[in-house]
């Protein structure tokens, strides 16, 4: 009997093919599950599904973006986050998280952080800094712990790998630096009762069970070297150096695999994404390419980036507005909207700012306590405390005016008063 055939190799190739088929099946099942429980913009389903799938292979990527769900209350953020965490690899959902818990849990886990407003606070500085670096491979935290020896006590260093997929949700938005590491998805309130009235019985959902079986199979194959994404990520720089017109490297004839990979790189190269955005979307592109949806994901990602850039401009204006309100002379009375708009317009030196935009912005930021119309003029009572609290999230400290004990006129001697009047 001839034994020139390599069954191990044949088996590995077959396994990889099977795993990729199962991955596609898992992806479609995931889209179905997300559609069952969440009412989102159509393009968000693909992004979330890819992101969840990626958590099972995230160690093969150089960076992995955070997923940030931003919405008003009652828009299904918590449900979305709970579902994403449940479907992700070793997902852990937390409401309040400390830096210490994060780096001790990060390894081999996906972390979901609900009510992530507190991350912007001054007290959570260390956590925020840690999150700022944990989206990239190689981010580590070292801690010393005491060891008792025979003669004397000593210290040993423990190292924690903090690179992990993180999904966050909040109402108020994210500070700029951390927000730059996130794929921001803005959720809207759903009117679909068949979705909003669905109970979160994830444990008993047959589709979820099937999805987990499929994706676990793929993960195991990936651990054994069956599904390899790392090479694609690592090959990006080589592609830029070797095959692009300005390259200084001598061109060599590429083999079939290289040609196939080049097709992927060419598509990525043609996108309008750059720098951080490209870094964030590359893992999703790699996955999408494997599933055969690269073109679609590129289109969606470009749209998200455009929205994000517009959002950034808008946010910058919102920050100015928050700053303006938080430093405005506090009063519990109604203030004329026209007067507020005029002052803000003067400060910003922007012609287009009008009462309509100003009113909407105040409402969007939730700064209006009461509103009334008197003789056709709009007046509002503002929530100054909220403005101050929100502005802190963006790292802007409000300088509290030193409270000067107001001296009453009657306390001053008559002579002094007379002198002041003369001056």
400 binds other proteins (CB under 8 A): no
Q: Which of residues 289-308 bind other proteins (CB under 8 A)?
A: none
Span interacting with other proteins, options 10-18, 140-148, 227-235, 395-403, rule CB under 8 A: 10-18
Least distance from C-beta 13 to other proteins, angstroms?
8
CB closer to other proteins out of 7 and 251: 7
CB closer to other proteins out of 9 and 410: 9
12 binds other proteins (CB under 8 A): yes
CB closer to other proteins out of 160 and 217: 217
For residue 344, CA distances in Å to 29, 266, 357, 359, 398 come to 50, 47, 11, 12, 18
Least distance from C-beta 5 to other proteins, angstroms?
5
158 binds other proteins (CB under 8 A): no
CB closer to other proteins out of 13 and 263: 13
Span interacting with other proteins, options 7-15, 55-63, 289-297, 391-399, rule CB under 8 A: 7-15
369 binds other proteins (CB under 8 A): no
**CA–CA dist 173, 176 (Å, integer):** 9
Residue recorded with tokens 């852990």: 92
259 binds other proteins (CB under 8 A): no
Span interacting with other proteins, options 5-13, 104-112, 188-196, 404-412, rule CB under 8 A: 5-13
Q: Specify which residues 374 forms β-bridges with.
A: 377
Least distance from C-beta 110 to other proteins, angstroms?
26
Least distance from C-beta 223 to other proteins, angstroms?
11
20 binds other proteins (CB under 8 A): no
CB closer to other proteins out of 16 and 39: 16
157 binds other proteins (CB under 8 A): no
Among 2, 123, 206, 274, binds other proteins (CB under 8 A): 2
Which x/- pattern, by CB under 8 A, does the window 210-229 give for other proteins?
Answer: --------------x-----
CB closer to other proteins out of 4 and 246: 4
Span interacting with other proteins, options 2-10, 106-114, 402-410, 414-422, rule CB under 8 A: 2-10
22 binds other proteins (CB under 8 A): no
Among 5, 248, 255, 375, binds other proteins (CB under 8 A): 5
Q: Which residues bind other proteins (CB under 8 A)?
A: 1-8, 10-15, 224
């Amino acid at each position: 009997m001839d034994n020139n055939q390599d069954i191990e190799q044949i088996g590995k190739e077959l396994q990889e093919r099977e795993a990729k088929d199962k991955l596609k099946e898992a992806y479609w099942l995931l889209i179905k599950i997300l559609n069952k429980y969440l009412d989102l913009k159509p393009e968000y389903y693909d992004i979330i599904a890819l992101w969840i799938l990626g958590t099972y292979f995230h160690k093969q990527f150089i960076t992995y973006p955070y997923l940030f769900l931003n919405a008003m209350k009652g828009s299904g953020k918590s449900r979305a986050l709970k579902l994403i965490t449940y479907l992700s690899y070793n997902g852990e959902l937390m409401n309040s998280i400390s830096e210490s818990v994060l780096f001790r849990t990060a390894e081999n886990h996906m972390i979901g952080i609900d009510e992530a407003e507190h991350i912007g606070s001054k007290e959570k500085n260390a956590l925020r800094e840690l999150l700022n670096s944990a989206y990239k491979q190689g981010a580590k935290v070292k801690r010393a712990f005491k060891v008792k020896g025979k003669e004397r006590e000593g210290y040993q260093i423990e190292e924690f790998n903090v690179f992990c997929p993180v999904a966050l949700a909040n109402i108020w938005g994210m500070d700029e630096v951390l927000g730059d590491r996130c794929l921001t998805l803005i959720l809207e309130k759903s009117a679909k009762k068949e979705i909003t009235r669905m109970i979160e019985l994830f444990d008993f959902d047959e589709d979820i069970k099937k999805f987990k079986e499929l994706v676990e199979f793929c993960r195991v194959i990936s651990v054994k070297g069956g599904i390899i994404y790392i090479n694609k990520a690592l090959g990006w720089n080589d592609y830029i150096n070797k095959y692009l017109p300005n390259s200084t490297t001598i061109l060599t004839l590429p083999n079939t695999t290289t040609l196939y990979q080049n097709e992927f790189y060419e598509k990525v190269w043609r996108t309008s994404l750059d720098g951080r955005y490209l870094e964030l979307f590359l893992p999703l592109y790699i996955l999408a390419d494997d599933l055969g949806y690269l073109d679609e994901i590129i289109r969606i990602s470009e749209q998200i980036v455009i929205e994000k850039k517009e959002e950034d401009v808008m946010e910058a204006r919102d920050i100015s507005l928050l700053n303006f309100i938080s430093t405005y002379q506090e009063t519990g009375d109604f203030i004329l909207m026209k007067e507020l708009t005029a002052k803000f317009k003067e400060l910003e030196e922007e012609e287009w700012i009008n009462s309509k935009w100003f009113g909407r912005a105040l409402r969007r930021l939730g700064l209006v306590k009461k509103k009334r119309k008197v003789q056709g003029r709009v007046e509002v009572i503002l929530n100054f405390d909220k403005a101050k609290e929100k502005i802190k999230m963006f790292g802007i400290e409000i300088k509290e005016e030193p409270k000067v004990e107001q001296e009453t006129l009657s306390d001053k001697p008559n002579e002094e008063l007379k002198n002041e009047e003369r001056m």
